[in-house]
Amino acid sequence: MAKYILKRVLRASVTLFIIITILFSLLRLMPIEGYFDNFDKVSSTEIQVKLNSLGLNDPLPKQLGRFYNQLLHGDLGTSNIYRRGVSINTIIAEKIPISVKFGLISFALSLVMGLALGIWMAYSTRTRFKIGDRLGTVLIVVVQAVPAAVYHIVIQFVGSQYAGIPMLFDEARPISYLLPILSLSIGNTAYYAMWLRRYMVDEANKDYVLLARAKGVPSGAISRRHIFRNAMVPLVQYIPGSILSTLMGSLYVESLYSIPGMGGLLVTAIKRQDNTLVQALVLIYAVVSILGLLFGDIMMAVVDPRISLAKKEGSR
């Protein structure tokens, strides 16, 4: 196992290198107009000066070399446009804690509520009127059917117009955390509930459950010890990724509630063509998502001993 992880990490660094190289090449394709405030009135000398100062006139390997050299010194570089002249470390250090805070609270909330709902739904498929299943389905269906861009703004309006909660986030007012966290967790709650129900219903039909039932194992114990645990296996893969990805923030929610987090930073940086910031963010996000996938695989193997990641005899 350790060998396998080591291998994956080594490979990941190669992948990171490929990602960054591709990214650099793509960024050079961006229209140069985007680097200027007032492209209408600049002369060709000014264009050259600007490209020079952004380091865009250098050949690609030289630009890459500069970037890696900086990285080795623990420096992500300096923002060119988004906050000109400010070190990216500073920008990110201000934003990450806020997004992570919101992300973790809502993740925990949605995991607890999602699993509870999923279990209740799966359980109630075996009851007569399937009330839990029906109610849960309504929630899931609504969340699925209404685009996130819309239900977030509806939550904000309803919350502020009818419950008197302030529209914008304000650090000093704890009540202003309520709506953003609700908005953030509702989607994942539905997601976890939906898939857990699906996997549990599938699992409940399996022969070993039938056997356990026949043996007289109480149905609560069957649900907890067998059905739930097996149904969690595919979900477990996503959990480390979800936790890590909280530091990316949420674009919709953070823009609606004025939360100064990471959400939308990448999109803004790309649209504003702040190349150094884009590079830094892509690097961070890539590390996060690669680790998320790796930890997910490890978790999956831990939860279900039948899964093996390392090469086994007779495997392909």
Partner 1 sequence: MSFFKKSADMLGDKLNEKLAQDLDESAVLNDEALAFSFAEFHPEAAERGGYSNYSYWRATLRAFFRNKTAVFFLCLMAVTLLFTFVQPLLPGQKDPLEVHYGEWGLPLNNVPPNGEFWFGTNSIGQDLWSRIWAGTRTSLFIGFSVAVVEAVLGILAGVLWGYVRKLDFFFTELYNVLDNIPQTLLLILISYIMRPGVSTIIFALSLTGWLGMARFIRNQIIIIRDRDYNLASRCLGVPTRRVIFRNLLPYLVSVITMRMALAIPGAIGSEVFVTYIGIGLPVSIPSLGNLIQTGRSLMQMAVLRYQLIFPVAVLAVITISFYIIGNSFADAADPKNHVN
Partner 2 sequence: MRICNRVLSLLLCLAMVLSLGCAAYADGEGSVYRTLYSSEVDTLNYLETTQAVTTSLTFNLIDCLVEYDCYGNVEPALAESWEPNEDASVWTFQLRQGVKWVDKDGSEVADVTANDWVAAAHYICDAANDSSCYSVLRDNIAGASAYYDYTAYQLALPNAKDGTDEEGNPAKVIVNEDGEEEVLVEAPEASLDDIGVKALDDYTLEFTLTGSKAYFVSLLSHGAFMPVYEPFLEECGDQFGTSNEYLLYNGAYILSSFKPQQEHVLTKNAAYWEPECVYIDEVRETYNAEASSIAATMYMNGELDAATVSSDLLTAMMADPETADQIHSSRPSTSYAYWYLFNFDANFDEDYEPENWTLAVNNENFRQSIVHAFQRIPALAAHDPLNPTATLSNTITPSNFAMNEGKDYTSYEGLAAYTAEGFDYYDPDLAVEYKDKAVEELTAAGATFPVKVLMCYNPSSSNMANECQVVEQQIENVLGTDYIDIIVEAGPSDGFLAAVRRSGNYAFMNCNWGADYADPETWTDPFVPDSSYSFIYTSTDPETKALYDEYCALVDEAKAITTDIDARYAAFAKAEAFLLDHAFAVPLHTNEISYSMSKLNVFEGQYAMVDTVTYRYKDQHLMDKSMSIDEYNAAYEEWAAHAN
Which residues here bind partner 1, judged by CB under 8 A? 8, 11-12, 14-15, 18-19, 22-23, 26-27, 29-31, 137, 140-142, 144-150, 153-154, 157, 198, 201-202, 205-206, 233-234, 237, 251-252, 264, 266-267, 270-271, 278, 282, 285-286, 289-290, 293, 296-297, 300, 304, 306-309, 311-312, 314-316
Q: Which position has the token pair 């495997």? A: 315
How far from chain centre, in Å, is Cα 235?
Answer: 15
d(CA 241, CA 252): 20
How far apart, in Å, do the first and last CA atoms of the chain sit?
17
x/- mask, partner 2, residues 247-276, rule CB under 8 A, reads: -------xxx-x-x---x------xxx---
Give least dist CB 286 to partner 1, A: 4
Instruction: Give whichever of 93 and 149 is closer to partner 1, judged by the CB atom.
Output: 149
CA distances from 161 to 164, 165, 167, 174 (A): 6, 8, 9, 18
The one among 33, 146, 154, 206 contacting partner 2 by CB under 8 A: 33
Q: Using alpha carbons only, what angle is made at residue 37 by residues 33 and 41, rounded to the nearest 5 degrees? A: 80
Q: Is 142 in the site for partner 2 (CB under 8 A)?
A: no
- Phi-psi sector, 315: left (phi>0), alpha (psi -120 to 50), beta: beta
Instruction: Give whichever of 60 and 150 is closer to partner 1, judged by the CB atom.
Output: 150
Give least dist CB 49 to partner 2, A: 5
The secondary structure of 59-116, three-state, reads CHHHHHHHHHHHHHCCCCCECCCCCCCCEHHHHHHHHHHHHHHHHHHHHHHHHHHHHH
Q: Is 135 in the site for partner 2 (CB under 8 A)?
A: no
x/- mask, partner 2, residues 71-100, rule CB under 8 A, reads: ----------xxxxxx--------x-----
116 binds, among partner 2, partner 1, none (CB under 5 to 8 A by kind): partner 2
d(CA 41, CA 45): 12
The one among 42, 71, 148, 155 contacting partner 2 by CB under 8 A: 42
Residues 6+ apart with CB under 8 A from 161: none
In the complex, the residues that contact partner 2 under the rule CB under 8 A are 30-34, 36-43, 45-46, 48-53, 56-59, 81-86, 95, 112-113, 115-116, 119-120, 153, 156-157, 160-161, 166-168, 172-175, 177-178, 254-256, 258, 260, 264, 271-273
